[in-house]
Each structure stands twice: as structure tokens, then as C-alpha cells.
Structure 1
Amino acid sequence: TTPEPSQSQAGRQLFVELNCVQCHARGADPGLAASLPELVKRHGELESWLPAMTPPSLNSVGDKLRDEALIAAVRREKNHRPYLLARMPRFPLNESQLAQLVDYFVAEDRIPDTGDLPPNVVVQSNHAAELDDAVTRVAGARLVTPDGFGCTSCHRVGKVEPPPGPLAARGPTLSMLGQRIRRPWYDRWVRNPARIVPRMEMPSVQLPVHGVLNDDLPTQLAAVWQVLNQPGFEPPAPNALRVARRSGVRERGEPALLLTDVLRVGETRQLKPALIGLPNRHNVLIDLEAGRMVDWWLGDAARQRTEGKTWFWEVGGTSIGALQPAEHELSLRDAAGRRWQPIQVGQFVTELDDWQHQPDGGIAFSHRMTFSPEPDSESTVTLLVRQTISPIWSDSAGASQSQLDSD
């Protein structure tokens, strides 16, 4: 609702009395930023610290922040820009004065939602539909990295810090940003930050990331918003030595990839895996030691890292669901009705004999499995098993689907 004029006018007067624009830029007032270059001329050693001495702009702050976040900012309850050297004084404001300031910012800045407009006024919404949690985890996790829109290049997300760089390129922490920032403002901001805060270092997001969510920009931005607001969300760790991935773009005609090196899956280690990465960015993990498929995820297939003198691969995407069947995937039944289960030969239940790429982007592979009716039985039979895992694409060209086909 629109604040009462007297309340917002009192907030405007309080804003002037507190002399906020002495430090903060707002509208035609440049704030402290206007005088800092002169300071740097006299003290050249401060030049690299100029961004850390510049208080954040208050342009559109009433549209940007939720009411409770505005109050928290005035109270200095939490610092979302730890790199800043400039600090705001703690003003001894009572609850009534805080409410007046909030009402002033809201009345001046906030663009009304559609529900506040007359019924004959129609506003085109930029909001995409809410996405499924699994889709959000997979697509959003990629989009916030340098392989997407590059959010983690300048902002902290979870435990992932941006790489060292100029202070001018540092931004506030983005984890759970919906607790502070209003979604309508986010939708306007990411498309053209400099329109709201002139000379803003953040680039505008005008083009979608190819091969993600049908190349639909509003849907991609919705995925970023949702994943950043998932409690405990951690993006992929940066600076992998190598990334094994496929593009998710059907027209490229990419073959599947096969990785058989040591692989880390969370806290566990697969000594002899068969990781298959399909061109639609679906990946499956077959544990050759156990002789069964154990995981299926979307996104990158794997990332290579080092730890001390150890080189290893780790799973590159977000699991759709770990597959841990109580029994083996394959078993035999003889004429007497006995079930023959796979057994280990040495350390492994099976090993790959050969594999071939398929015209549809899938992969066919052969492996031997030995079966026995009892764990210690001398009766065994060894069979050659041939399997094919293929991608399934939607009718929309270039769109990857949460499907695969296994024969």
C-alpha cells in the first residue's frame, strides 16, 4: 500500500536532517564519490582503495529492498559488503522514525506491482513460472558460475568467494538474497544495472546462456533467483583444472564421453567407474566394482582437481537421484527357479571390454559378468553383456531433457 503523505514527508525531512547524501549517491546528489578522486590526487597510494571507500548508492533503494531489509540496513544489523572500508554511523532512531524513513524510500522509489494499479492498466510481467526444484538446482548451479552469467566472478555465494580482482568488481553476498531484495527489482536490475546506478561495474544480462532451459532468458533468470534463495546452496567450486562436459545443443552432434579414472562422489571414491556423459548433459555413473548404475545427474560430467599431489575427478553436476538398488540390476533364473546373482571376480563384479559411439550421441559398451546361484558355489556362468545408453531429446531443437534411454 502507498504510505500516507505525512509519513513519507516526515521521512524525507529526516533523510535531509541525517545528511545521508553527504556520503551516499541518490538522484542528482553524487555523495562522497564526487570528492574521493581529489583525495586520490593528493594521496596516490589510495587509488586502489577508492571502491572500498565509496558508500553504496541509494538510487532505487526503496524499490530494491524489502521494508524489513531497509530497517536492518539503517540499523547496520548485518554487513553484506565486508570489503567496504567506509562505515555508516549508528543513528539513535526510534521505531517511528525508522518507519518514516522506510515510507519515504518506498513512496519515492517503489514501482507499484500490478495489483496496485487501476484495473484498466496492464503491465507485462517479466517473471517466468516457478521452476521445479530439480531443474533449479541443475540449471541455476551452472548459471551462477563463469560458465553461465558469472555471478561468482564478483559475488560471494555460499562458501565460494570470488577470485582476487579489483575492488570495483566486488559485489555483495548473494546467498538468500530474497530475504533482502524484492523480486521485481531483481528482474529490472539484472537486465540493465547502469540504468539504475550509473557507471555500475556489473554487466547487463541481455542474452541467454546457450543450451540451458531452452535458451529462454526469463526462465534462466528465474532459475538464478530460485537457486540463490535455496537454503544451503553451494555453487560448484571454482578453478577446476579441466571440465568434462557436453553442450546440451543437439545441432552440434557431439558424441558421448566416457571417463574411467578415479572419481569422487561426495565423500566416497569410485576406484573403477564408468562415467558416461551424454550430449544432452545427462550423465550416468556405473560402479564396476559393484556392477550396477549408482547415479544419474544433469550438468557437467566431471571436473578435475588436485589435492596435494593427488589428481582426481569429481562429479560435475547435481544428482537427479542416487540409484542404490537393494539387489543387482541383472540376475538370471534357471529352469529350477533358482536366481543366479553376479559375483565378484577379484575386486570387481565387471570390467569394460569395449565401447563404441552411436550415431544418436549414445554409447554402446560390452562387459563380462559372472553369475552364481550361491556366493560360495562352484557353479558359475560368465556372460557377455552389451548395453546402450542414449539421449532423448525434446521436439525443440537444442533443448536437453531429463531423460535417457538404456538398453
Structure 2
Amino acid sequence: MGRPNTMPLSVLLLAMEYTPDVAGGVGTYVYELATGLARAGCSVTVLAYTPGEPAVLREPNLTVHLVPPSRASLSRAGRLSLVQGIRAFNEDLLVHARELVREQRPDLIHFHQWHTARAARRLGRAVDVPVLGTSHYISEPAERWWGQTPDPEILEEERHLYDGSTPIVSVSASMSQLIRDTYGMPESLLHTIHCAMDARPNLQPAHPPETYARLRATVAAPDERVVLYTGRLHPQKGISALFAAAERVLAERPATRFLLAGGTDSRESTQMVQALSRRYAPLLGRVKLLGKLPRPQLGLLHRIADVAVVPSIYEPFGYTAIEQMASGLPLVATRSGGPAEIVVPGETGLLVPVRPSDHGDLREVDVESLAAAQLSLLEDPVRARRMGEAGQRRVVEHFSLEKMIAANLAVYRALLGAPPPHHVSARQEAVS
């Protein structure tokens, strides 16, 4: 017999990230999901990785346990691959989780990405509660599109994640299709729920107009327009196309400033940015690399920019897109993955193509289209402002936190009211 829909649920969330301060999209999602479920009356416990000291954060209906690797895991870290290290941390996570469930048995366990799937599945079997995962990213085939070869160990974890033994939430229809096409996961076990956020801090300016005017004056002259990029500086994000398009924009409209807020996350990405800086050295007076900034400073940049650009070769969802839209910015984004489901072309922004290249699996952003789309909005501020206002309405209507929470709760209720999707085999028990 299923649990009555009126009863509040007890939910255990397992993740490698909590809050955007750790890395990015997954941390943002888990934070928004946890706080949203707590506001909806659920009793929520989060177990998440921290590289620092252990900590417990408490809010009404929400307890967050930040768990560092054990001494045993740290002592072996130098001999382990990335995936082996994450598997070792799953053992640490499982020890903490077993202690917690002795005090309060959750109604279900919700893990995020393959990184915590093994701990979640083992714990679910041990305490006999349903387990659900959310997939925020897929390596195969997406990484090949920007010239990266997927890690074979990560592909093994993805095959395990999408083996049909656990229902999965995907953050976009595009990624759901990739999961079905690549791993053959049954459609009945795959749920698409767009990411969302509490947009209230973005919808209204946090400071008086004079504050934004002073800040804008530090980066642009009164007659100049500002194009903003926020996110990692990584080949996935279309950074090469961003520089190439900026060169074309500046050739036609020199009174433009480009602000790039974000950092690199690998030696290869750093080398890419250095090479682009050398190649486009004449632009660097107009293209400013600001580095990685805290979220409050990003919010300030949203208010002084005229156009935001999301030039990703592929984006599973794209939190930055809805953050910028919520702040009233019109978007120029690629028609690839999540942004194509977020932006309404001609209404909240403009979409540009990503096309197969002549080199293997690589894909390329259409640079001419990317430049032309930016120019069309920079030269028509009235249209750009109208798109920004429409984007705010779209975020409120389609990407509100309440909508995401309701969708997840519907999946939870269905899972609690139905038998497991199928029997987990002995082989699956062994690899978990």
C-alpha cells in the first residue's frame, strides 16, 4: 500500500556538492532542492562531500552533514584514480549514512550523479527504502563533441547508473534522449525535470540604480554596450567561439565591452585560455577576463550588462541561463541541450546553431551566427529590453523552485506507491 499523499516525507539526499561554492550546477541544484523540499514540509537530510572539516548545518526541516574523506581514504588518495577516489569516498559516505538512518529511517534516498550512486543503492537495500537518482551530466557521447575522450572508468560508472535498476531524473529532455540513445535506459524509468531556482533575489535589484551606474562606469563608457559571459572557461562552454565572435562584433561595433566571469578547472583549460589570449591579444582591451567571482558579484554584473551569452557546445541544462534571464538579461545561446529548452527564440533571446565539424565527432558553434545574434540585440536596445522582461516572466512561470519541487515530489510519491522497477540481479549486487 502506498504512502498517503498528504503525509510529509523524510528524504535523504546524497551528493558530492552542496551549494554553488563547491563547484557549480550540481551544488546549486542540491541546495535548491533541499531548501525547497524543506519549505514544502519534508524532513530533509543532506550528506555531501567537503574537502574541509566536518560540519552540520541546521535549518527548519533541513539538516546538512558535510562529510570529509576518512583518514584511510586520504592515505590512499595519491595511489587512486579520480573514480577510485570517489568510490572510496562512497564507503565513507555509507558509514555516516548508516549511523543517520539508525536514528531516522528515510522514506526514500535521492542521490545526485554517479558520484554517490553506489552508496545510495547499498544503503537503500540495507534499509529497504526506494532509491532515486538525478543525472546532471553525461560523458558519452557529449564530451567527444568538444574533443575530450571520456574517462573509461567514468563510462563504467555511467553504464552502472543507467542500468535500469534505479529510476533516474534527467535535467533536460535533451539529456533524457541521450541517455536512452546511448545506454538504452527504459523510458518508464527516466523522468525529465528541469532545474529551477528561487528566483526572488534575481528578479528585483538588490541595490539602488546609483550603485549599478557607478559599477558600470568602471567597465564601460556611457556609449558602450556590455556583453556578459559567466561560467567555467572550458572547451565545452564554447569559449573559442566566444572569442571569435567577439572579434567580429568589435569589428562592426567597437563601442562594446565583453566581460567574462569564470575560472578554469584544469591545466588543459588554462592552456586553452592562454592560447586564446595570445591569438586575440588586440581584443584584450575590450574583452576582460574577470576570473571566478562569488555569486553576489555575479548578480551585480547581471544588472550592468546589456546582453548575456551562453555559447556552449552542449549544456545538459544551464543554470547560468535562468539566473541571467531572472535578472532581466536577453540571452544569446546555442541551440544545443538545455538552453534550447530554456530560451524561446525571438521572445526571451536568440538561439544559434551548433553543427558537426569535418573532424570526427567534434561539433562547432556557428561563429557568424553567434556574432550576428549579439549585434542584433546590441543595436536594438528596446528589443533587447523587451526580451529581458519576457525572460523574467518565463523563469517565474516555468523554472520556479515550486514547480521543480512539485515535480520531484510527484516522482517520490509514485515511487513510494509502486513496487521496485524490477528485481536487482546478483551481478548488480556485486558491482554495487
TM-score normalised to structure 2 length: 0.20
Instruction: Point out the structure with max Rg over C-alpha.
Output: 1
**Greater share of strand residues, 1 or 2?**
1
TM-score normalised to structure 1 length: 0.21
**Greater share of helix residues, 1 or 2?**
2
